[in-house]
Every structure is written in C-alpha cells, then in structure tokens.
C-alpha cells in the first residue's frame, strides 16, 4: 500500500523550523531522562560515596548491554525512515512488527547475561569490598527490567523514524515520574518531613541502592508496555493491527543487521573502553569513582540536545534519502550541526561557571566536591565538540554511513583516550583529573574530525537502492 504523504520533510515552513519542530520533543525527553537520572544520583549520593560507587561500577556494563538494543533500534529506524521516505508504508509496518519480535528476543538474552555476571562484575572491575553487596544487588535487580528496556529503546526509535516524537516524550515523562516517586519511597527509611509549621511522617522501605534499582526496573516495565500499546493505538503512518506476521524475515533482518552490526560494534567499543576506564579509575580509589560518576551525570545535561538532534537527523536524513532528495539531506545535516552548537553552548557556559555549586547538590563530601569542580569544568569546556560526534552519528545512521562512527570510536577510545588516561592517572599521579583530561582530548579531536566529515560530503550514499 502506497500513501501520498507520510514523511516529515516539510513539517515546518523552512528546513530549520522542520528540524526544531521534530527535535524539541526528543530534546525535552532527553532533558527529563537526564533530570530523573540526576535526581536518582542525588538520592543515592546522599547515602555517601560508597553508595554512589556501587552504582557507578555497574554503569559502563549496563550501557554496554543497552547499547545492543540501541544498535538494533538504529537498524530498524533506518529501514522505517527510508521506507516512509519512499512512501512505502506496507514495508515500514512489516519492519515495525519484526522490531517488536527482535526487541523481545534481545531483551531476554540481555536479562540472562546480566543475571549471570551480577555476582562477579564488581570483583572483575576492582571494586572495594565495601561496595560489593550493594553493587551486586543493584545489577541483579536492574537485569529484570532488561526486556522492557529493550522494548523502550527500539519502539521509541521506530516511532521517531515515523516522525512521532511526542509519544515517546509523554511515555518517558510518565516513566520518569514513577522512577522518582519510587526512589523517594524505596531508597530511604521512614522519616519525618517538615513543611512550614507542619510535619508529616513518610513511609520508606529503607532499601538504599537496591531501592533505586527496583524503582528503575519498574519504570522500564511501564515505559516498555506503554510504547508497545502506542503502536496499536496512536495514529501514525506505522499504526499496527494486532493481527499480522511477526516472524523475522531473512531479507528485512539482513538489511537491519547491515546497519546494526557497525552500530553495535561502535557501542561495544565505547562501552568496553568505559569498562576499562572504570577499572583505571577504581584503582585510584572510591572517591575518584564517585567523582567520575557524578561528572558523567552532570555531563548528561550538557549533551542532551545533541541526542535529540541526532534522532531527528536519522529521521530527516533517512527520509530525504528514501525520497532521493540529496540536496535536502545535505541542507538538514548542516542545519543540525549549527543549531546543535548553539544549544550546547547555552548549556555549557553556565555549567562551567557554576561547576562547584552544582557538585554540592549531589554529595556532602568536601573532597568529592573539590575534585568534581575541576573535572566538571574540563568536561564543560570540551562538550560542544563531543556533541558534534553525537549528531554526526545520527546523520550517519540515516544515510547508512555507519562505518565512519565505528572507526572514529575505535581510534578515539582505544588510542587517544585510554592510554593517556592510564598515564595521567596512575603514572603521573593526577588521579581522576588526569582521566577527565584524557577524555577531553579524545572528544575534542573526534569533534573536529566530524566537522571535516560533514564538509566533505562523504557521509552521503553513492547510490540509492530501491526497497
């Protein structure tokens, strides 16, 4: 079935307005996710550096495994966007049905892997015994939400590929509110809260780090179920009926895999690098690990517009190429770079100025605040260039140029980042500040390479295959 108007290429009166109209829900969504993560970090951080470190030592591995779902979503996003660009809704819906099956299978595999490694990961990464019990409990509980996290990542992406960025926004708002409320009730013990002249007794489970994990896993369950329901209820070009063929087809999945494998390798490269980096930092001490975790959480606020623009880039570039309009694809790519840079600068400058004050919101530890102040300033100073690599990744996923981000990540992580990080932290004795400096050098070089890539036009496909 061929439909006349299923693209978002003319969503706004100008290409810039189209970019902004498509991007703002994704940016707000990223903002809310980051805010929920920061609140989560602050709640856990109030328990002390050991609690923060217990979460931090698991984060890189969680990102690695979630990255597999991200890679899968990139493949389906590419297929759906190109199909709708060519106004072939039948093929797009077929891809969406198979995305559901694929997400369920991958999520089950990830859950089993997480449960298998949970007793050993903290030891493998050199965590201190003081955090072992909490770290193990956190990872074990998070693992049970893996199936629904996989659904959330994949189904959010296919909806965005169809130009619907508002539904994932609404659902993630609901999930984040549930997560925050769950944290409030499950992390802390029963306590008395004073508001003005009145005081209230608030029930609390007092589960600490485990409570944070339970709240996160439940919010993932809610978002996964709601997104699945949205595919059948919300009026989009890819709205499904329950009846249909959900079996995986070799031809379609081969096309998905051709995009997903390089993206997966990129994510694995980054996340294994982060795991090695975590090992380097944990060798410096628990305070260093806590600082790195807090800076990472604050950094998520700085690059959040980039992920919104990257998602829009995949949709707009994919649909433009699907419609065989390379001029429009080139125009959208340049606008995405410019608008992203303006947004990121508006966030980074105040964060750089108020770095110390921001760190005090997340920990009572004076040593953590002092080191975090310097580390956050380094991050804020280099974030614009890092954000360009994020946006370029979205553009490349839309065009099918997925090998470039892979090679860029390989070189940046394993050559530019990790060796200097080890030298600066352990040999020269700069500790966590040395690690953050190495990261800043890496992302700056990668950002400059992305600017060159965009101007060269080599990200554009040489020919357009028919569906």
Q: Tens digits of per-residue pLDDT, 260-317?
A: 999 889 888 887 888 788 888 888 888 888 888 788 878 877 888 898 899 899 999 9
Task: Supply the pLDDT for residue 465.
Answer: 40
- Mean pLDDT, the chain, integer: 89
The pLDDT of 324-351, averaged and rounded, is 93
Query: b/e for 202-231, b at 16 or more Cβ within 10 A?
Result: eeeeebbbbbbbbbbbbbbbbbbebbbebb
Q: Which region among 67-71, 358-362, 438-442 has the lowest average model confidence (pLDDT)?
A: 358-362
Report which of 369, 364, 323, 333 is spatially closest to residue 464, judged by C-alpha positions.
323
Sorting pLDDT into bands at 50, 70 and 90, what band is 38?
Answer: low
Residue 180 · residue 37 · CB < 8 Å: no
The pLDDT of 173-177, averaged and rounded, is 90
Instruction: Indicate the pTM of the whole model.
Output: 0.81
What angle, 0 to 180 degrees and rounded to 10, lies between the N-to-C axes of helices 209-233 and 146-161? 40
The pLDDT of 214-222, averaged and rounded, is 94
Question: Does 8 score more than 50 pLDDT?
Answer: yes
Q: Which region among 72-81, 85-94, 195-204, 353-362 has the lowest average model confidence (pLDDT)?
A: 195-204
The pLDDT of 110-138, averaged and rounded, is 92
Question: Does 1 score more than 50 pLDDT?
Answer: no
Task: Supply the pLDDT for residue 426.
Answer: 87
Question: Does 3 score more than 70 pLDDT?
Answer: no
Residue 44 · residue 52 · CB < 8 Å: yes
Question: pLDDT tens, 345-361?
Answer: 999 999 999 999 988 88
Report which of 238, 232, 252, 248 is spatially closest to residue 89, judged by C-alpha positions.
238
Task: Supply the pLDDT for residue 218.
Answer: 95
Question: Does 205 score more than 90 pLDDT?
Answer: no
Q: Which residues contact 143 (CB under 8 A, 6 or more apart)?
A: 110, 111, 114, 115, 118
Query: b/e for 13-48, b at 16 or more Cβ within 10 A?
Result: eebeebbbbbbbbbbbbbbbbbebbbbbbbbbbebb
Sorting pLDDT into bands at 50, 70 and 90, what band is 462?
Answer: low
Sorting pLDDT into bands at 50, 70 and 90, what band is 464?
Answer: very low
- Give the 3-state DSSP-derived string for the chain, with helices as H, strands as E and coil as C: CECCCCCCCCCCCCHHHHHHHHHHHHHHHHHHHHHHHHHHHHHHHCCCHHHHHHHHHHHHHHHHHHHHHHHHHHHHHHHHHHHHHCCEHHHHHHHHHHHHHHHHHHHHHHHHHHHHHCCCHHHHCCCCHHHHHHHHHHHHHHHCCHHHHHHHHHHHHHHHHCCCCHHHHHHHHHHHHHHHHHHHHHCCEEEEEEECCEEEEEEEECCCHHHHHHHHHHHHHHHHHHHHHHHHHCCCCCCCCCCCCCCCCHHHHHHHHHHHHHHHHHHHHHHHHHHHHHHHHHCCCHHHHHHHHHHHHHHHHHHHHHHHHHHHHHHHHHHHHHCCCHHHHHHHHHHHHHHHHHHHHHHHHHHHHCHHHHHHCCCCCHHHHHHHHHHHHHHHHHHHHHHHHHHHHHHHHHHCCCHHHHHHHHHHHHHHHHHHHHHHHHHCCCHHHHHHHHHHHHHHHHHHHHHHHHHHCCCCCCCCCCC
Sorting pLDDT into bands at 50, 70 and 90, what band is 5?
Answer: low
């Amino acid at each position: 079935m061929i439909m006349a108007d299923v693209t978002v290429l003319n969503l706004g009166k100008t290409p810039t307005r189209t970019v902004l109209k498509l991007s703002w829900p994704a940016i707000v969504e990223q903002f809310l996710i980051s805010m929920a993560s920061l609140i989560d970090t602050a709640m856990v951080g109030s328990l002390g550096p050991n609690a923060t470190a217990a979460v931090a030592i698991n984060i890189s591995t969680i990102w690695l495994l979630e990255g597999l779902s991200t890679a899968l979503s990139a493949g389906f996003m590419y297929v759906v966007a190109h199909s709708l660009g060519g106004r072939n809704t039948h093929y797009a819906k077929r891809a969406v049905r198979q995305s559901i099956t694929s997400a369920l299978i991958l999520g089950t595999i990830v859950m089993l892997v997480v449960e298998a490694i949970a007793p050993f990961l903290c030891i493998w990464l050199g965590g201190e015994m003081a955090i072992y019990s909490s770290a193990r409990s956190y990872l074990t509980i998070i693992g049970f939400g893996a199936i629904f996290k996989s659904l959330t990542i994949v189904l959010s992406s296919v909806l965005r590929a169809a130009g619907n960025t508002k539904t994932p926004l609404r659902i993630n708002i609901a999930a984040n509110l549930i997560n925050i409320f769950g944290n409030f009730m499950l992390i802390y013990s029963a306590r008395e809260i004073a508001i003005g002249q009145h005081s209230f007794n608030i029930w609390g489970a007092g589960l600490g780090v485990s409570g944070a994990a339970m709240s996160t896993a439940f919010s993932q369950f809610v978002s996964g179920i709601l997104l699945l329901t949205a595919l059948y209820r919300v009026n989009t070009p890819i709205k499904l009926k329950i009846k249909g063929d959900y079996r995986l087809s070799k031809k379609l999945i081969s096309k998905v895999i051709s995009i997903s494998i390089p993206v997966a390798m990129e994510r694995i490269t980054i996340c294994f690098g982060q795991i090695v980096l975590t090992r380097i930092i944990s060798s410096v001490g628990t305070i260093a690990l806590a600082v790195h975790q807090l800076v990472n959480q604050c950094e998520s606020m700085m690059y959040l517009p980039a992920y919104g623009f990257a998602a829009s880039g995949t949709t707009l570039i994919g649909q433009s190429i699907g419609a065989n309009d390379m001029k429009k694809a080139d125009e959208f790519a340049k606008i995405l770079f410019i608008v992203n840079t303006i947004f990121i600068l508006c966030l980074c400058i105040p964060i750089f100025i108020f770095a110390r004050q921001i760190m005090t919101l997340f920990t009572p530890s004076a040593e953590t605040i002092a080191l975090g102040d310097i580390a956050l300033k380094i991050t804020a100073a280099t974030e614009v260039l890092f954000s360009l690599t994020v946006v370029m990744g979205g553009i490349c996923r839309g065009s099918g140029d997925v090998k470039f981000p892979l090679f860029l990540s390989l070189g940046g992580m394993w050559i530019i980042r990790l060796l200097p990080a080890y030298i600066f932290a352990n040999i020269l004795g700069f500790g966590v500040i040395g690690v953050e400096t190495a990261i800043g050098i890496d992302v700056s070089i990668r950002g400059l390479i992305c600017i060159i890539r965009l101007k060269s036009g080599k990200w554009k496909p040489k020919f357009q295959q028919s569906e």
